[in-house]
Amino acid sequence: MDPLETFRTETEPSPQAQDRVRRRVRQAMDRPKGHSAWWALGLGVAISMGIALIALNQPLPDQPIPATILDNSQAMQSISGGDVQLNWQGSGSLQGSDRKPEILWDKGDLSVEVTPERGIGLTVNTREALIEVIGTGFRVHRDALGTRIDVQHGRVRVQCEKGEERFLVADEQMTCLPTSAAGMLARARFLQQNKQWDAILDTVEQGLKQAPPQSPVAEELSVLQIEALDALGRTADVQTAAQAYLQGSSPARATDMRRFLVASFIAQSDCRSAMAHLDILMKESPIAEDYLNYAGCIAATDVKSARKNLEKSLQLSDNPEQRAAIQARLDQLRNGD
């Protein structure tokens, strides 16, 4: 595809994006407009008050904050002379100084309240995001899905590791996705708990672009990719991906891949292709399903061998339901059915 065509397509504004802009413009236009004289008066008052405040208020002394571990329990802490309140349930660390506190947030929930107009430049760093405070209250949640930032009031600047800079205001939120292949793997595994296969496949494919070929992470991502393709019913893609994987120099998850291939071939009644992989599996580290599948494939042509394989399957199986089914099938074969 022509790159300019791709660019044209991907820079088309979505209806959601248009709605967001429409909403913001309306909000801005709905704000009451002040008369210029009032503006001038207000500005004068503000300047006078600012001067007075500077004269009266000593700036916050910038004492270094001793490096502190924010441990994995639920806790709260007040820093910067009470101008910053931290509440957390998770883990991270705190360093910097009273005027520039720096939090490295590892996982869990962190809520931050910063008194505005006190010259405090607090930052929260996670693996995926840099969040900079401009006098506000916000919440950071980090887990395997990424870093999510919810702003309660005020505004924050968020810079995702990969992505443009954003300002968020009250009630806005965003999630910075993991950026490393390992992070993508963690996200995909997290999504696996809820069987979100489309999202898993998308995450895995992004991770595979970054993972060094044949690295342990790439191996795990490949297995997850095939599992997702299988769950989405994309049988042909499962076979293509698994066979491509098996052609690698030393595929660590070859056994798993072969079992995916066997399942997909059997689903297509292609016993011939399935048996090529079953032969290898049975020489290496067979499990009950391998013997069961093998027996099913040869039952029509070699009953004796099918029976033997069913017996082996029965020996290896520790699943009561499966054992009962194997036994029933074995009885049928012994009775000549």
Partner 1 sequence: MTTADDLKLLTAAQGGDPKARELLFTRWLPIVMRWCARMGGPSVSAEDAASDVFICVLTRLERLRNPEAFDAWLFGITRRTLAAHRRRAWVRRWVPGLSVESDDPDTRPDHQLESSDTSRRVQQVLEELTPYQREVLVLCDVEGRTDEEVALMLEIPTGTVKSRLRLAREAFRKGATRHALVTPLLVAQGGK
Q: Which is nearer to partner 1, 112 or 330 (CB)?
A: 112
Q: Which is nearer to partner 1, 139 or 155 (CB)?
A: 155
Q: CA-to-CA distance for 337 and 335, rounded, in angstroms?
A: 6
Helices within 1-158 (DSSP H only): 3-10, 15-30, 36-56
Are 211 and 181 within 8 A, CB to CB? yes
Residues in contact with partner 1 by the rule CB under 8 A: 1-4, 6-8, 10-13, 16-18, 20-22, 24-25, 27-29, 121, 132, 134, 155, 157, 160, 163-169, 172-177
Q: Which is nearer to partner 1, 14 or 247 (CB)?
A: 14
DSSP at 115 = -
Q: Which is nearer to partner 1, 147 or 264 (CB)?
A: 147
Task: Kindly state the greatest CA–CA separation across the chain.
Answer: 103
Q: CA-to-CA distance for 108 and 236, rounded, in angstroms?
A: 40
Q: Which is nearer to partner 1, 162 or 272 (CB)?
A: 162
CA distance to 33, 100, 118, 122, 290, per residue, from 61 (Å): 38, 11, 11, 15, 71
Q: Which is nearer to partner 1, 11 or 247 (CB)?
A: 11
Bridge partners of 143? 146
Min separation Cβ 9 and partner 1, Å = 8
CB-based burial, 226-264: b 16+ in 10 Å, e otherwise: bbbbbeeebeebbbebbeebeebeebbbbbbbbbbbbbb
Q: CA-to-CA distance for 253 and 216, rounded, in angstroms?
A: 10
Tokens of 121: 């430049």
Q: Which is nearer to partner 1, 126 or 313 (CB)?
A: 126
H or E element in which residue 232 lies = none
Min separation Cβ 243 and partner 1, Å = 26
Min separation Cβ 67 and partner 1, Å = 21
Q: Which is nearer to partner 1, 7 or 247 (CB)?
A: 7
Are 240 and 267 within 8 A, CB to CB? no
Q: CA-to-CA distance for 144 and 184, rounded, in angstroms?
A: 8
